[in-house]
Amino acid sequence: MKCFHAPSRRELLKASGTLFAWAYLPKLARAEGRDPRFLAFILRGALDGLATVAPVGDPNWLALRGDNALTLDGKMPALKLDDYFALNPAMPNLHRMFQAKEAIVVHACATPYRERSHFDGQDVLESGLTKPAASDSGWLNRALAGLAPAGRVDPNGSKAFAVGPVTPLVVRGPAPVLSWSPQRVLPASADTVQRLLDLYRHSDPKLASALEDNTKLDAIEQAGGMAQQQRTPGPAQVRAYFAEVAGHAAKFLAQPEGPRVGALALDGWDTHFNEGIAQGRLSQLLGALDDALAAVQTNMGPAWHESVVALVTEFGRTARINGTAGTDHGTGTVALLVGGALKGGRVIADWPGLKAADLYQDRDLKATTDLWAVLKGLLKDHLRADDRALAENVFPGSANIKPMAGLVA
């Protein structure tokens, strides 16, 4: 009789920050004398792109965000990228990479999804489909399955990896992946647990039912007096966790016998209240992410020069601040790309403007660049994925979305 193991709350949340990696060499890239690495960060919860990279040159920016608008001469000055855009001051490492032409910002960007459900948005982001639908595989796994391998990086398998508890959809599919989970596990907010529960109610009802039972038991346990805020991780915990997870991922990918493609997920970006753009929760999260990127660069060593890291999220947040000093679910956001293999030092944006008439549904930054174009461009030029496979299998139904050229040096 096959026994079903219901993961505990702790085990399930380990999926955030778990590295899932492909242990083969891309054959075509190898034939060109290259040994490329690719790492995808899934930022779950919806990142506020306007707070991450502020359009300081837009004449409507200050009116839109008021005292929350990042500026070049504010109390916490934004970091200038070009004459129109500036980076959140919590991200000096990303700014340094941008200046070294090892980072690209793609602004006013989104997947094809245009609604506001976390579950559906994450489903589209990870499945690579044009709309929410049942899928047992993700775009990154299908991309790997379509690459001709030049053999395993370690013919005997990699003993450095342990099987993680829950595999994110983006790496599920026919291509075999290895996984590793960090020792450190952050305490989970009720919001994170609820979103994970919603996700698995759709994709794995049996797992969702077990998780729901465990969550109820956890609630009974916590009823003894432990307040929710006591389980909420502090800034130092988040910073250490992000850096550990990303740093270990980079160490694995940097090894000659290590994997070449990986993905990991980081939660926490759902900032409905007290967002704290320059000082506060979002600023702390962006600072932690900035440390994580620095850890990736450091731990990649010489392999950094052949690396691309893509940071993507399910959708953006509202252009205007809400009544609780936060932002609600939106549309357009940013995709952040870093790595020594990039043709960086650029903000790529077909800027839609911030007048009320220019906003999507009078509330969101309008998306003018399809995220699939960005990812297709990276997979094609960096890993040498096939055009037809990208259009028909990796991102089905995307033949009209051309891969963005010129991202890789």
CA–CA distance from 121 to each of 114, 128, 226, 266, 315 (Å)? 8, 11, 32, 15, 7
Q: Is the pLDDT of residue 176 over 90?
A: no
Question: Per-residue pLDDT averaged across 218-247, rounded?
Answer: 66
Show the tokens assigned to 3. 């026994």
337, 378 Cβ separation under 8 angstroms: yes
Report the range out of 194-198, 212-216, 282-286 with the highest average pLDDT. 282-286
| H helix runs in 301-391, sequence order | 371-383, 387-389
Q: Is the pLDDT of residue 190 over 80?
A: no
List phi, psi (to 5°) of 104.
Answer: -135, 140
Residues 262-292: tens digit of each pLDDT: 888 888 899 999 999 999 999 999 999 999 9
Q: Which of the two residues, 106 and 119, has the higher pLDDT score?
A: 106
Give residue 256's pLDDT.
86
Tell me, what amino acid is at 58? Answer: D
Give residue 155's pLDDT.
46
Question: d(Cα 28, Cα 19) in Å, to the nearest integer?
Answer: 25
CA–CA distance from 395 to each of 37, 243, 386 (Å)? 21, 31, 12
Q: Is the pLDDT of residue 123 over 70?
A: yes
Give residue 95's pLDDT.
98
Q: Is the pLDDT of residue 228 over 70?
A: no
Q: Is the pLDDT of residue 212 over 70?
A: no
CA–CA distance from 34 to each of 28, 39, 77, 148, 382 (Å)? 9, 16, 40, 15, 9
- Per-residue confidence at 193, pLDDT binned at 50, 70, 90? low
Question: Per-residue pLDDT averaged across 193-219, rounded?
Answer: 58
Least confident of 100-114, 226-240, 254-268: 226-240
DSSP conformational letter for 257: T
Give residue 8's pLDDT.
44
The full set of domain ranges for the chain reads 9-233+257-394
- Per-residue confidence at 188, pLDDT binned at 50, 70, 90? low
Nearest to 381 by CA among 6, 29, 56, 24: 29
Question: Per-residue pLDDT averaged across 362-371, rounded?
Answer: 98
Using the CB atoms, write b or e for 258-295: b if 16+ within 10 Å: bbbbbbbbbbbbbbbeebbbbeebbbbbbbbbbbbbbb
Question: d(Cα 384, Cα 207) in Å, to the nearest integer?
Answer: 36
389 alpha carbon, distance to own chain's centre: 23
Looking at the DSSP bridge assignments, the partners of residue 87 are 53, 79
Q: Is the pLDDT of residue 305 over 60?
A: yes
Give residue 214's pLDDT.
54
Upper half-sphere CA count for residue 27 (Cβ side, 13 Å): 9
Give residue 164's pLDDT.
33
The model's pTM is: 0.86
Q: Is the pLDDT of residue 393 over 70?
A: yes
Question: d(Cα 179, Cα 273) in Å, to the nearest integer?
Answer: 34
Give residue 231's pLDDT.
53
| H helix runs in 24-107, sequence order | 27-31, 49-52, 61-65, 92-99
Q: Is the pLDDT of residue 383 over 50?
A: yes
CA–CA distance from 73 to each of 70, 76, 86, 194, 198 (Å)? 9, 8, 11, 40, 42
Residues 307-344: tens digit of each pLDDT: 999 999 999 999 999 999 999 999 999 999 999 999 99
The Cβ of residue 19 has, within 10 Å, a number of other Cβ atoms equal to 27
Give residue 25's pLDDT.
79
Question: d(Cα 388, Cα 408) in Å, to the nearest integer?
Answer: 20
Give residue 209's pLDDT.
63
Question: d(Cα 24, Cα 2) in Å, to the nearest integer?
Answer: 31
Question: d(Cα 224, Cα 243) in Å, to the nearest integer?
Answer: 33
Question: d(Cα 123, Cα 125) in Å, to the nearest integer?
Answer: 6
Question: Per-residue pLDDT averaged across 367-390, rounded?
Answer: 97
Give residue 100's pLDDT.
98
Question: Per-residue pLDDT averaged across 146-160, rounded?
Answer: 61
Show the tokens assigned to 330. 């939106």
Question: Per-residue pLDDT averaged across 163-175, rounded?
Answer: 68
- Which class for 38: exposed (0-12), middle (13-18), buried (19 or more C-beta within 10 A)? buried
Question: d(Cα 268, Cα 409) in Å, to the nearest integer?
Answer: 32
Q: Is the pLDDT of residue 84 over 90?
A: yes
Question: Per-residue pLDDT averaged across 212-231, rounded?
Answer: 47
Question: Per-residue pLDDT averaged across 152-171, rounded?
Answer: 52
Q: Is the pLDDT of residue 6 over 80?
A: no
SS3 54: strand
Using the CB atoms, write b or e for 227-257: b if 16+ within 10 Å: eeeeeebeeeebbbbbbbbbbbbbbbbbeee
E strand spans, 92-248: 103-110, 149-152, 178-180
